[in-house]
Structures are given as C-alpha cells and as structure tokens.
Amino acid sequence: MGLPIAVECEGVIKEFGSGSTKQRVLHGIDWQVPLGATTFLVGPSGCGKTTLISIISGLLSATAGRVWVLGKETTKMRKGALVRFRADHLGFIFQQFNLLPSLTAVENAAVPLVVQGSTLASAKRQASGLLDRLGLEKNKWKYPNQLSGGQQQRVAIARALVHNPRIVISDEPTASLDAETGHEAMQLMREVASGPDRAVIVVTHDTRIFEFADYLATMFDGRIESFRQNTPSESSH
Ligand SMILES: Nc1ncnc2c1ncn2[C@@H]1O[C@H](COP(=O)(O)OP(=O)(O)O)[C@@H](O)[C@H]1O
Ligand SMILES: [Mg+2]
C-alpha cells in the first residue's frame, strides 16, 4: 500500500431516472483519496463532481460500487450508523450553503457540535471563535438573510470545521468570496483539517486557490481522467 487512504471508491456507478430517461452520470469510479493532504476535484460543469462527493458523503446512494471512508465501508452501513459516522467524521460545505434561516450565524455554525452532544453554550462559544477568525465578528449574531453571499459562505465554512472533523468535503467553497477571503478560508480549512490522519476534498473551478492543492483529480464525463500530485508551476497566486 502507498499512502494511507481517506476515501476509496471502487466501481462507483450512478444513474438517475429510469427507462428511456435513464442517464448514467458516473461510469465506474475507482479513486483513492489520500490522508494527510488536500485533494482538489476539478472538471467541467455537469461532469459529475457534485454527484460523486455526495455519494462519498453518504448523502446520495450509488447505483453500484463500493465506498470506504476512513477504512469503513459506508455503502454497507445502515442509515442510523451512517448518520452518526457522518456527524463524527465529516464536515461539509455545500454549493448552496444550506444555512437554517431561523438560526443566527453563530447558532448555524454551532449545529454540528450540538448534534454531537455539546451543550449549546459551549457549542456557541466555539462557533463564535471560529467566525471571528473568518472575519465575521461584527455579523455573527445576524440571521442568514441579513448576510451577503460571501458572509453566508463563511458561516458554512465555520459550520463544516467547528467539530474538528477528520474529513472536510467542500463544493466550490470560495465561489462567492473575494481573493483575500478565499485565501483565508482555504488557509483555515487547511489548518483545521490537515494533519496526517485528516483530509480535505475540494471541488472547485477557482484557479486562484489551486496553490492549496496537494493532489489534483480531473474529472470528465463521469470518469476520473487523471489524478496526480500538484506541482507549483500549475498553481496560480
Ligand atoms: N438529482 C438528479 N436527478 C437527475 N439528474 C441529475 C441529478 N443530479 C445531477 N444530475 C445530472 O447529473 C449530471 C452531473 O451533475 P453534477 O454531479 O451536479 O455535475 P457537476 O457538479 O460536475 O457540475 C448532470 O447531467 C446533471 O444534470
Ligand atoms: Mg456541482
């Protein structure tokens, strides 16, 4: 074996629809995502990136194939065990931020800790500190509809990191951030989520943050076309 593995996909197929409208979106993905690294998944719109990370996250079931996360086969887990596993080990940043509109920024960012059993007070304290680091100290008591897109995205990033998950999975995390805030967000993600037994997976088109990639996977039409170490010459600044 080479590097220790965060996520392994074996023959993952995904089809949507049935009968004449059936569409095969993933054509048998074999992929190993290493621990101790930040891996970027890039590829044109519609090639299946969100579908693949949704299956890895256990939010969508595969039509066929197997997935292991941190050595556990999630495609075999029952619903309850999968929910618990996700809550303990994974953090997500979705393309749509999925913030709860009736909760403040601090409360939204605190949710994963409360789900894990922290008291509300301690969860909010930790969430609040993280939001400060993301430049939201003045806005953290506001509700999502009172925040800009970029601010909402930072709340979503804080929510993904607050419970210190071993794997952070994010879909276009910097899409609505300016260059500086995008860098800060990536730095924080790397800081909180890197370490020899941790991994960050980022789906992105944002070449401004490519320097944060240790590995680059390129996807095209439902297949991983290449997977390689990122070299400095490919990075922008
Ligand atoms: N829930 C769904 N039902 C039907 N088709 C879907 C669904 N989700 C995604 N697709 C289709 O799967 C393909 C891949 O989508 P997606 O994974 O979102 O691509 P990407 O994230 O790379 O832009 C697209 O053709 C999209 O229309
Ligand atoms: Mg997508």
Contact by Cβ (8 Å): 4, 199: no
The ligand minimizing its distance to the Cα of 47 is: 1
Q: Residue 46 C-alpha to ligand 2 middle, in angstroms? A: 7
- State residue 2's pLDDT score: 53
- State residue 1's pLDDT score: 47
Confidence (pTM): 0.90
DSSP, collapsed to helix, strand or coil, labels residue 219 as strand
- Rounded-to-integer distance, Cα 55 and Cα 22, Å: 18
The one-letter amino acid at 179:
A
Beta carbon of 42 within 6 Å of any ligand 1 atom:
no
- State residue 134's pLDDT score: 86
Domains annotated on the chain, with CATH? 5-232 (3.40.50.300)
Binned at pLDDT 50, 70 and 90, residue 13 comes out as very high
Beta carbon of 182 within 6 Å of any ligand 1 atom:
no
